[in-house]
Structure 1
Amino acid sequence: MEVYTTENEQADAVRRFFAENGKALAIGVVLGIAALGGWRYWQTHQSSEMTQASAAFQQANQAMTDKKAQGVEDLEKFVQSNSNNYGVFAALQLADHFAQVKDFANAEKQLTQAQGQAKEENLLSLVNLRLARIQIQQNKFDDALKTLDGVKGEGWTALQQDVRGNVLLAKGDAKGAREAYSKGLDSKPSQTLQNMLRMKLNNLSS
Structure 2
Amino acid sequence: MAYDLEEQEQLASLKAWWAKYGNVTSWVLIAGLAAYSGWNGWKYYEREQAAKASALYDEVQTALASKDAAKIQRATADMQSRFASTAYASMTAFAAAKQAFEANDLKTAKTQLQWVVEHGNEEHKALARIRLAGVLLDEKAYDEALKVLAVETPAQFASAVADRKGDVLAAQNKLAEARAAYTAALNASDKKNPGRQLIQIKLEAIGGTAPAEQPKGAA
Which of the five TM-score ranges fits, normalised by the shorter chain? 0.7 to 0.9
Q: Distance in 2 between matches of 1:65 and 1:123?
A: 23
**Is 1:152 aligned to 2:150, yes or no?**
no
Residue 114 of structure 1 corresponds to 116
Q: What pairs with 1:191-202 in structure 2 (closer than 5 Å)? A: 191-202=193-204
Residue 141 of structure 2 corresponds to 140
Q: Distance in 2 between matches of 1:41 and 1:191?
A: 43
Residue 47 of structure 2 corresponds to 47
Change (3 A) 1:69 1:118: closer
Residue 64 of structure 2 corresponds to 64
Residue 13 of structure 1 corresponds to none
Structure 1 length normalisation: TM-score?
0.82
Q: What is the CA distance between 1:150 and its match in structure 2?
A: 3.4
Q: Distance in 2 between matches of 1:163 and 1:73?
A: 27
Q: Distance in 1 between matches of 2:60 and 2:152?
A: 28
Runs (4+) of structure 1 moved beyond 4 Å?
Answer: none
**Is 1:124 aligned to 2:125, yes or no?**
yes
Q: What is the CA distance between 1:58 and its match in structure 2?
A: 1.2
Pick the structure with greater CA Rg: 2
The one-letter code sitting in structure 1 at the alignment partner of 2:114 is: T
Q: What is the CA distance between 1:38 and its match in structure 2?
A: 1.4
State the Cα deviation string for residues 64-93 of structure 1 (Å, max 9, x = none): 123346532332323431313211111111
Residue 100 of structure 1 corresponds to 102
Secondary structure class of the residue paired with 1:192: coil
Please tell me whether the aligned partners of residues 104 and 137 of structure 1 are also in contact (alpha carbons under 8 angstroms): no
Secondary structure class of the residue paired with 1:36: helix
Q: What is the CA distance between 1:110 and its match in structure 2?
A: 0.9
Q: What is the CA distance between 1:171 and its match in structure 2?
A: 1.3
Unaligned runs of 5+ residues in structure 1 are: 1-21
Q: CA RMSD in A?
A: 2.0
Unaligned runs of 5+ residues in structure 2 are: 1-20, 209-219
State the Cα deviation string for residues 119-145 of structure 1 (Å, max 9, x = none): 2x2111111111111111111111111
Change (3 A) 1:30 1:116: same
**Counterpart selection for 2:88 from 86, 89, 93:** 86
Secondary structure class of the residue paired with 2:194: helix
Q: What is the CA distance between 1:188 and its match in structure 2?
A: 3.4
Change (3 A) 1:180 1:89: same
Secondary structure class of the residue paired with 1:150: coil
Q: What is the CA distance between 1:202 and its match in structure 2?
A: 1.4
Change (3 A) 1:70 1:165: closer
Question: Which segment is superposed worse, 25-34 or 149-158?
Answer: 149-158
